[in-house]
Amino acid sequence: MSQGKTVLTDAHFVWAKEHDLGTDQVYDARSFWKDAVARFCKNKGAVFGLVMIVMIIALAILGPSISGYDYRTQEMTQRNLPPHIAGWDNAPIFNGKYEGYNVYEEKGIQDVTHIFGTDTLGRDMFARTWTGARISLYVALLAILIDTIVGMSLGLISGYFGGKIDFLIQRISEILSTIPTTVIVTLLIVVMKPGLTSITIALMITEWIGMCRVSRAQMLRLKEQEFVLASKTLGESTFSIIFKEILPNVFGQIIVMCMMTIPNAIFTEAFLAFIGLGIPAPLASLGSLISDGYKSLTMYPFLVLFPVVVLAMLMLSFNLMADGLRDAFDPKMKEM
Amino acid sequence: MLKYTAKRILLAVVTTFLILTLLFIMLQAMPGSPFNDEKITQVQRAALEAKYGLDKPLYIQYFNYVKSMLRGDFGVSYVIQKNMPISELLKVRVPVSLQIGGQAVILGTIIGIFLGIVAAIKRNSFADSFATFVSVIGVSFPSYVFALAMSYFIGFKMEWLPLLYTTSHPFLSTIMPTISMCMFSMATVARFARTEMVEVLGSDYMTLADAKGIPTRRLIGVHALRNTLIPIITVLAPLTMELMTGSLVVEQIFAIPGLGSLLVTAIQFNDYNVVLAVIFFYSIAFILMMLVVDILYGVIDPRIRLAKEERKV
């Protein structure tokens, strides 16, 4: 045994090369929110949607003052004018040409700018379109408020307490969802006078149901967990358990659901305006502009073009953003 | 199964009565009276009210109302076509709307299933991105965006198809309305079909079938397709509702003499009887559709029936 004994020295060993070493790399822990933001920013469609929404909001706020006209001043000498920007008479678009000849030149008003043209009463369409977009944005804001105040609260309460309250809220939402939304909304507005108030009430009755279901389901999932029990044992009030302990855990789903109802609400308002149950004249909404414009589609297509494009972009952007948020908050969903 | 079906039917009946009650309350709350011509004297007004049964106590009016509505007697139109029974008005208009709506659902579902399945099989390819793009556009743009674009370019500029509905070309006139109304159904079905198909393709029984050496075409066409199609039935009920909403606007744009344009005209002329009749018709159609979907789904997929019964208990 003794002669076989070898003494191990440094020479017996080879230093490991760095790239052969498998070291554990420790990444910085990223919070859920940072992670979600990073995922959201990677989604091109969602970022496009966000940028578009910001642009539309900016134009809706500034638009009427940019053009220098307001939405209701009628100029009978300037009716049905095509889109025109002063000085662009030879440009391919916004040149004020209608069926080949320049209407502005003929009337001797080359220095007048109507970016989106004028309607049959000589009102500036640029101002009207962006004033109309304000209504759609108001409806979007309203949808968020209804979702969070009515839908979310009812859902959380219904899920947390269960029993009679749950039964009552669930039956109401079940019955409301068996009646077509179109029917409820149309009936309500026929009975009340068309206007912003009745649209608000109609949306309030119909838009909370989806959110109520989502938040109730989330509440049922969470309320048996240990941290809730711990808070209960420590004597926290019920209100604070629901809104301070449980709510932050379901915020992701709630934001996603909110974003999903926005296009729905905008669509409902535009639809009501189209069938003549919207904002009364001279106020305009995108739906009522489209409704006024489509009758002269073959004569003055520009009257309907701009409101339709704005409405379509608004709906598309909110949908893209909702999809992006869903993927950002719930990456597993994307695999599906 | 019997219990499940009975429960669904009961729910449908309850909802029908609820809607009738709602309509009756609305009828009472409507502003104005059908006889607001200033030339009518008190005596004439009383005679008219007696003729239409408006002088009786409220509960008798309600009872009469429910009875006649269920019999399909919706009263007469006061404004649009004076004293014309509404059921006559509906009789002419329902088939047109039904035809266009039916075409839109069928076309939308078929294209949607096709798009969704192609997207799921070739995931993350060009076909997938294309299908996703089309479905986002279809869900986002209201049907009248497509309707207006088509009527301007195809109907007016190209003159390929009639711009407005004509009875001389009943089928050609329905092509553009059908396409514009089917976009939403197509997009919804495509999204749904893709999700379902991806799930089915990842399931164990598909791996087993693949391992047994079943050729790909048979694997997808027989094993995956059937299980994908079942859940699609559930979106059909919400789609019907969406189509009704769409029809109100699209029928208006193409001047189609259907139910939707009747409702819009009735709203504009304050012809409340017609408004309520059309709304009742829409509600019944929706309730029936929901009932059929629920029962059909229970028949096809026993898991749903059991799960629903369990949840209820």
A271 touches chain B (CB under 8 A): yes
A235-239, A246-250, B41-45, B225-229: the lowest-pLDDT one: B41-45
Query: Looking at beta carbons, which residues of chain A come within 8 Å of B19?
Result: 179, 183
Asked if the ipTM is above 0.85, the reply is no
A68-72, A144-148, B138-142, B191-195: the lowest-pLDDT one: A68-72
B283 touches chain A (CB under 8 A): yes
pLDDT at B61 over 70: yes
| pLDDT score for B37 | 63
pLDDT at A57 over 90: yes
Enter the tokens of residue B88: 């006559």
Q: How far apart are alpha carbons A265 and A273 in whole angstroms?
A: 12
pLDDT digits (tens, 9 = 90+) for A252-280: 888 888 888 898 889 888 888 888 887 87
Enter the tokens of residue B237: 């009920």
Question: Average pLDDT, stretch B144-167?
Answer: 83
Query: Looking at beta carbons, which residues of chain B come within 8 Å of A187?
Result: 22-23, 26, 275, 279
pLDDT at A54 over 90: yes
Q: How close, in Å, is residue B125 to chain A by CA atoms?
A: 15
Q: How far apart are alpha carbons B223 and A44 in whole angstroms?
A: 35
Are A180 and B199 within 8 A, CB to CB?
no
- Higher-pLDDT residue of B84, A147: A147
Are B282 and A182 within 8 A, CB to CB?
yes
Are B31 and A308 within 8 A, CB to CB?
no
% of chain B residues with pLDDT over 70: 92
Question: Average pLDDT, stretch B50-62?
Answer: 77
pLDDT at A333 over 60: no
Query: Looking at beta carbons, which residues of chain B come within 8 Å of A330?
Result: none
pLDDT at A38 over 90: no
pLDDT digits (tens, 9 = 90+) for A182-236: 888 888 887 777 888 888 888 888 888 888 988 898 888 888 888 888 988 998 8
Which residues face B209 on adjacent strands? none
Q: What angle in degrees, to the nearest 10, is found between the helix axes of B126-140 and A301-329?
A: 120
B253 touches chain A (CB under 8 A): yes
Are B23 and A274 within 8 A, CB to CB?
no
Alpha carbon of residue B147 to chain centroid: 18
Residues of chain A numbered 13-72 and touching chain B (CB < 8 Å): 45
Are A298 and B156 within 8 A, CB to CB?
yes
Q: Indicate the SS3 state at residue A314.
A: helix
**Residue A334: closest C-alpha in chain B:** B195
Task: Quote the mean pLDDT of chain A.
Answer: 82
CB nearest B283 (choices: A183, A191, A276): A183
DSSP structure string for B143-179? HHHHHHHHIIIIIIIS--S-SS--TTSHHHHHHHHHH
B139 touches chain A (CB under 8 A): yes
Backbone phi and psi for residue A95, each to the nearest 5 degrees, phi listed first: -95, 5
Question: Average pLDDT, stretch B157-167?
Answer: 80
Q: How close, in Å, is residue A8 to chain B by CA atoms?
A: 54
Q: How far apart are alpha carbons A306 and A128 in whole angstroms?
A: 10
Are A179 and B15 within 8 A, CB to CB?
yes
Q: How far apart are alpha carbons B275 and B264 in whole angstroms?
A: 8
- Higher-pLDDT residue of B35, A271: A271
CB nearest A319 (choices: B29, B140, B248): B140
Q: How far apart are alpha carbons B102 and B243 in whole angstroms?
A: 9
To probe the interface with B, which of A191, A296, A304 has the most B CB atoms within 10 Å?
Answer: A191
CB nearest A319 (choices: B139, B252, B263): B139
- Higher-pLDDT residue of B31, B94: B94
CA dihedral for B250, B253, B256, B259, sign (positive or negative): positive
Torsion angle, CA of A131/A137/A138/A139, rounded to 10 degrees?
A: 120
% of chain A residues with pLDDT over 90: 8
pLDDT digits (tens, 9 = 90+) for A157-193: 998 988 888 888 888 887 787 777 788 888 888 777 7
| pLDDT score for A50 | 93
Backbone phi and psi for residue B85, each to the nearest 5 degrees, phi listed first: -60, 135
Q: Residues 6 or more apart from A262 whose CB is under 8 A from it?
A: A140, A143, A144, A318, A322
pLDDT digits (tens, 9 = 90+) for A66-113: 777 777 777 777 777 778 777 777 777 777 777 777 777 777 777 777
Contact (CB, 8 A) for A271 and B242: no
Nearest to A127 by CA among A57, A82, A78, A69: A69
Nearest to B170 by CA among B90, B96, B59: B96
Residues of chain A numbered 130-189 and touching chain B (CB < 8 Å): 175, 178-183, 186-187
Q: Indicate the SS3 state at residue B81.
A: coil
CB nearest A180 (choices: B11, B152, B241): B241
